[in-house]
Each structure stands twice: as structure tokens, then as C-alpha cells.
Amino acid sequence: MAKASSKKKAEEKKPEYIHVTFNRPRQYSWSTGRYLGHFYAEAKENKRIVGNRCPKCKDIWLPPTPVCPKCKVDMGWDWAELPQTGEVYQYTYLVMPLWDPHYGEKWANPYPSAIILLDNGVFYRHRLEETDKDKLRAGIRVQAVWKEDYEERGHGMADILYFKTIDEQEAKRCLQ
Amino acid sequence: MPNRVAIVGIGQTYHKSKRPDVSQPEMVAEAVRAALADAQLSIQDVEAVFSANMETFEAIYLPDHGMAAEVGAFGKPGFKVNTGGTTGGSVVAEGFYMVASGLFDIAMVIGFEKQDCGDTTAAITAAVTPIWGKGAATGAIGEFAKQALSYIETSGATEEHAAMIRLKADRNACRNPYAHLKLGLKSVDEILQSAYLVWPLRILDFCPQSCGACALIFASEQRAKKITKKPVWIADVEVVHQEPFRAGVFGDPTGKETYTQHVACERLYKRNGISNPRKDIDMAEIYEPSNWEEMNLYEHFHFCEKGEGWKLIEKGITEIEGEFPVNCSGGVIATNPIGATPVIRVAEAALQIRGDAGEHQAPKDIKTAIATALGGPNWTVLVLLKRSL
């Protein structure tokens, strides 16, 4: 008797069950916030690398920050465009596989990752195009290579594919 | 003035790559029981339990929740901390703060890691946020390969020096019953023949993934003197964090990435009247994920001048029989249960002060020792231990 009545109720109003499927990739969503959001927008719209400047110590911070880590003051909204050329300061060349911790994909391999000293003295961590270990060394001149398709950009620092090796003369042309 | 705090109980597990015989809580309980036995205390005497683990390294969330019963934390105050590689150092600092403040008379700190459960490197790469830095993460190995390269370029050290450090670590580990890798390495050449993991780091140049746990029992001055004849006093603790996950530069000339070791040492040494660490301190247990980083850390902790870290091993100064022994236990390159690792540094330094290190006891009399933790984006925790205050 009770069973029949609950069945009748179910027909009247459907319970709000939550349905979860596990046979597809996780759908993650992260927020950039206002400051890093501006970095993302400049990369997507203008292919620019931007950092923000502390009103007190005048240092440029990358990634941009709402509060200067050193001075502990609000950064305000003072943006600086950073050069897209620089030199490899430190690097590593990974041959072991690394896995994306969120989606389980295997990352490209071999994989040269570098800390690049941009021409205004700000450090930027990115990957390098050069995969020949013997051609890598500290001090080589590099330049950012962007994703050209506007629709493919919008992923912050991943809008730059990698930094490619350039010679000094080419670097001078880029700076002009 | 804070209350004086002493270490009155020390316990650790043996270390292995895999421990399929125990669950994580069972493994942690081995260290807890050993620490209680060492202090000759009952778990009922312990007022609060603080633990440390690299959450998600075992691919589980809240790893401490499953073990409240086994480690005697059930119904007691306490919580888990996680600060990256310094986690075990942070829990020692936490236990120290709690007893020094007078809130508790007897507290236990535990570091643990069971790395056969998860994927440590995947967990580390997840520390780089998806919105900044993902795609340029290299895991711990890549970071320390970068450090090694930069050290080669700036210091004049050679691969032979790194191999000498590795040989020292193995000789000491072979004398330590709790150490993980005991390889019985015979020569520098043997190490130089091991394959590259990530150039210029060889397989033998980097720490293993270990399963293990370490527990320490802290007591206030009054209680400590009743519990043991050999209390080891925590003379001072220093913790320095920095802005995480910017470029992650080793030796940033712009000063934006602080050398937390420098800041931490400056404060700790000044407070304790240490002008020449190698003379004023008798030995060190340092957190060196690689042999190259060990030479680098000698310099950062002011055991020598800048660019001369490799000379300490060349002269045998940091050998167990040397003038200033470093890592008599075999160190992190032999044993690395990450969350427990810095707790082990403190435990091993305390054993040296007590004179209870057995086969790996330094021949010189150790009255003062320093234990260090390194991790996350180059954070530092320093613990200064003394036989008498």
C-alpha cells in the first residue's frame, strides 16, 4: 500500500536526483581573477606579455599581483608591457614522461623548460622550441612564438607556444 | 619568553619503496609506538597530536582522517599541516609553538608518507596552478636538474664532487638501520657510470620515493626533566616562506625570489649568537633532495664561503668522521618519505646529541645540531637543537 502511494507521488513530482557519469573527462573550471585576467586579455587580444608595477618599489611583477610581495602595498593598476625577447637563464631538458595531473594526458617529451630573463630583467618560465640538448645552454637568445589563431588564444601563458632561439641581429630587429 | 621545549621521544619506521604489508595508518602507528616506547610514555600522556603529510601525493584527500585511532589522536586536539617539502619542518615548528606557548605540556608531531599509493610527480606538477605555470612545470627532478646545471656553471664543482657527496651519503646510510637506499657504493667511478635521469642529474644523484613515518614527542621543561635523563632542547626554530610559484629561479639576481635560507640563517644565527656556524654548531642534518643541492646548501647555510660548497666534501669536512659532519643518517638522497623527511632530520640530529645514533653516531661530541627543511617554492625551516640550554 505504502509502495503504491509513493509511486503515485513520484509521478506527480519528479525528485531532483543528481546524475553523474564517469566515462568522460573531468570538467574543471578555474578563475583567473582581475589581475591575472588582465594578463590573459592582453595575451589573447594583443599578443602582449604584461606585468604590473609596484607604486612603491617600482618593481615589475610577473605573474601580476594585487599586492606587492616585498612592500605589502596595493599594486593599483599600473601595467607594463614586457619585451618578448630575452636569454635563457636556467633550463632543464626532461626526457622522462610527465602527466597532466588534471586530465591524465602525457605531456610532450622530450621537454625543454627554461627560466627566461626577459630583456627588461623580469623572469618568465616557459618552454623552449629547441629539443636538441646539445644546442641548449644558458645565455642563448630566445623570442616568444605566439599562437597565431585568435580563437586558439585565451589560455594565458599557453598562448605562447614556446620561445625559439634567435641570433643577436634578429634580437636587435625585434627590439626596434 | 616562550617556555622551554625538549624532545623526549623519537620513533621512526624503517623505509622502503613499497609497504604492501601495512595500510598508511598502520605504518604511521609503527613510528608512534616507537616514539612512545622511547619516551616510556603511554598515549594517554600525550595531550595533542599534530601530523604532516603531502596531501594528494597518495592520491587521497585528508589522509590523516583514517588514522586518528591508530595514532592515538582520537578525541584529542591537533591537526595536519601541509606546506610542500617543508611540511615535516612545519609540523615540528607547530609542535614547538604549542608547547612553548604553554598550551600543552606533552605533544606529539608525526610526519608520514606512503608513496607506493600515488603518483608523487603528478601531484607536484599540480602545485603549478592551471592558470599560471601549467605547461612549464617540470616536477622536483627538473627543478633540481636546473639547480645542478646552474651550480656547475657558477661554482666550479665537477661531477666528481657530486659523486663524492653521494658516496658519503651511501656510506652513512649503510650504517643507519632505518635508511632506505643502502647501495654499498664503492667508488666515485661507480656513481659516474649511473644513467642520467635528467641531465645533469643521474639516477644516483636524486632521492628515492620512500614509504615511512617519523614521530617526535615534545615536552615542557618541567615534564621533560621527569620523563628522560637525556632531553634534547629545541633552542630555536625559524620559518621563512616566500611568494610561491613565480619563476622559481635558483639564485635570482633580481632578489625577487628570496633565498629563504639566507633570511632564515640570518635571523636564527643572530638570535643564538652564532657567528661561525661550522664552529658554533657541531653537525647538521639537512634536506638535500640531490647531491648537487647539498653543496649549494652548504653555501646558503654559511658552512663555507659562496662557491666553495664542493671544497667541503673534497676535504672530507662533512664526512661522519669529519670536522663538521653533515647527514650522518645518509640524508634525503638515501631516504625520502617526503612528509616525514624533515621530521627525520630533527630526529636524527637529536639522536646525535643524545649519543644514541648507534652505528652512524659521529665520533665527535655533538652538543649542538641544526636540522633543516626545504620545499615548496624554496621555503626554509630551521631547527636548532642543544644538549643543554
Q: What is the 3-state secondary structure (H, E, C) of B47-84?
A: CEEEEECCCCCCCCCCCCHHHCCCCCCCCCCCCEECEC
Q: Which of B289, B272, B294 is nearest to B281 (CA)?
A: B272
- Are B347 and B12 in contact by the 8 Å Cβ rule? The answer is yes
Would you call A90 and B243 a contact, using CB atoms and an 8 Å cutoff? no
Q: What is the mean pLDDT of chain B?
A: 92
Average pLDDT over residues B356-364: 98
pLDDT tens digits, one per residue of B287-321: 999 999 999 999 999 999 999 999 999 999 999 99
Q: Which residues of B touch A115 (CB under 8 A)?
A: 146, 247-249
Cα gap A103→B327, rounded to integer Å: 39
A contact test, residue of B131, B155, B201, B379 with most A CBs within 10 A: B131
> Which of A69, A123, A157 is nearest residue B249 as measured by Cβ atoms?
A123
In angstroms, the first-to-last Cα distance of chain A is: 86
B contact test, residue of A123, A136, A140, A157 with most B CBs within 10 A: A123
Q: Which residues of A touch B136 (CB under 8 A)?
A: 113, 125-127, 157
* B344, three cell numbers: 627525520
Q: Which of B171, B137, B107, B102 is nearest to B321 (CA)?
A: B171
pLDDT tens digits, one per residue of A46-77: 999 999 999 999 999 988 999 998 899 999 99
Cα gap A120→A130, rounded to integer Å: 23
Which top CATH class is A83-176? mainly beta
Determine whether B174 is exposed, middle or buried from the number of CB atoms within 10 Å of its CB (0-12, 13-18, 19+): middle
The 3-state DSSP class for residue B92 equals helix
Domain range annotation of chain A? 31-82, 83-176
3-state SS of B201-266 is EEHHHECCCCEEEEEEEEEEHHHHHHHCCCCEEEEEEEEECCCCCCCCCCCCCCCCCCCHHHHHHH
In this prediction, residue A11 has a pLDDT band, given cuts at 50, 70 and 90, of low
Cα gap B29→B32, rounded to integer Å: 5
pLDDT tens digits, one per residue of A19-45: 666 556 677 888 899 999 999 999 999
Q: Is the pLDDT of residue B171 over 90?
A: yes
- Predicted pLDDT at A1: 44
Q: Which residues of A touch B250 (CB under 8 A)?
A: 90
> Which of B133, B199, B243 is nearest residue A93 as measured by Cβ atoms?
B199
pLDDT tens digits, one per residue of B38-96: 999 999 999 999 999 988 888 888 888 889 899 999 999 999 999 888 999 999 999 99
B contact test, residue of A26, A98, A118, A137 with most B CBs within 10 A: A98
Interface pTM, i.e. ipTM: 0.78
Q: Is the pLDDT of residue A118 over 80?
A: yes
CB atoms under 10 Å from CB of B347, counted, come to 30
Rg (CA), chain B: 19
> Which residue has cell 643564538?
B272
Residue B55 C-alpha, separation from nearest chain A C-alpha, in angstroms: 14
Domains of chain B: 5-120+209-227 (3.40.47.10)
pLDDT tens digits, one per residue of A73-105: 999 999 999 999 999 988 888 887 777 777 777
- In chain B, which among 136-165 make CB contacts under 8 A with chain A? 136-139, 141-143, 145-146, 149-150, 153
Q: Which residues of B touch A65 (CB under 8 A)?
A: 243
Cα gap B188→B163, rounded to integer Å: 5
- In chain B, which among 101-130 make CB contacts under 8 A with chain A? 119, 121-123, 125-126, 129-130
Would you call A30 and B131 a contact, using CB atoms and an 8 Å cutoff? yes
Q: Which residues of A touch B197 (CB under 8 A)?
A: 96
Q: What is the pTM of this model?
A: 0.89
In angstroms, the first-to-last Cα distance of chain B is: 14
> Which of B135, B142, B150 is nearest residue A94 as measured by Cβ atoms?
B142
pLDDT tens digits, one per residue of B205-240: 999 999 999 999 999 999 999 999 999 999 999 999
Determine whether B359 is exposed, middle or buried from the number of CB atoms within 10 Å of its CB (0-12, 13-18, 19+): exposed
Average pLDDT over residues B323-352: 98
- Are B349 and B274 in contact by the 8 Å Cβ rule? The answer is no
B contact test, residue of A49, A72, A125, A127 with most B CBs within 10 A: A125
The 3-state DSSP class for residue B27 equals helix
Q: Which of B154, B244, B196, B251 is nearest to A115 (CA)?
A: B251
